Amino acid sequence: MESEPLTPDMTEAEAQKEAVTRSMYFKMIGKHLAITANILAWGTYLLFKFIPGQADVYAKKFAVMHEYQLGYPFLVVYMLYVTRQYLNINSSGARAAAAIERPDQHTYEDAAGKQVLMSSKGAKGRFNRAQRAAFNMDESLPLFASALLGVGLVLGPVVLIPALLSVYGRINVAGSYKVDAGARGTGVMLAFTGEMWTQGLALLCAIKSLAGPAIPF
């Protein structure tokens, strides 16, 4: 991605760092949304059709959804999810330029202009990280829960897989991140995968219901 226009309050180095970080996240998240999420979604959908009777259930549901144009709610939920990913990319780029490490979500200055950061050591640091792990789930929960509910109504048991993956990931983050600021990676990856997988299934529901007979499988 090209860097944004240089503003008077940013140095050339800061602008470059933000541009590089944004580009990295655009490539990484874009690849997962375009490829990984669709492979997981369509793969599980097609696999579950082998369960006796499940293919007929899906066919009936998608026929009703196509007739009554019920694919649009799934499409807009996915659109909002993609929008949120862009906002995350945008803030991550700005974070890199500001050199603010997690779990800090903002940076402050005292009257003397000295930077003020969150406590990161001892019991206070553990609390800050535990609280941040909880807030992080809260921030993604509305879109995730909306997609889980919709996908569950259409695809039934399929939704349990990404839901359980996310549950495990969030619990992992809550425990590991509280202990060590650098130990959040595995849990975050699992939670992100569960959410992305679910949104991929939401997109599948939108495509199948809107396309109708044009996608016969």
Quote the pLDDT of residue 1: 47
pLDDT 10s digits, 18-45: 999 999 999 999 999 999 999 999 999 9
What are the distances in angstroms from CA 139 to CA 51, 109, 134, 194, 203? 35, 26, 9, 15, 21
Residue 115's H or E segment, with its range, is strand 115-116
**pLDDT at res. 112:** 85
pLDDT digits (tens, 9 = 90+) for 108-147: 888 888 888 888 899 999 999 999 999 999 999 999 999 9
For residue range 60-86, list pLDDT tens digits in order: 999 999 999 999 999 999 999 999 999
Q: What is the pLDDT of residues 188-203, one digit of tens each?
A: 999 999 999 999 999 9
Report pTM: 0.92
In angstroms and rounded to an integer, the radius of gyration of the C-alpha atoms of the chain is: 21
Confidence of residue 107 (pLDDT cuts 50, 70, 90): confident
Q: What are phi and psi of 115, to 5 degrees?
A: -65, 140
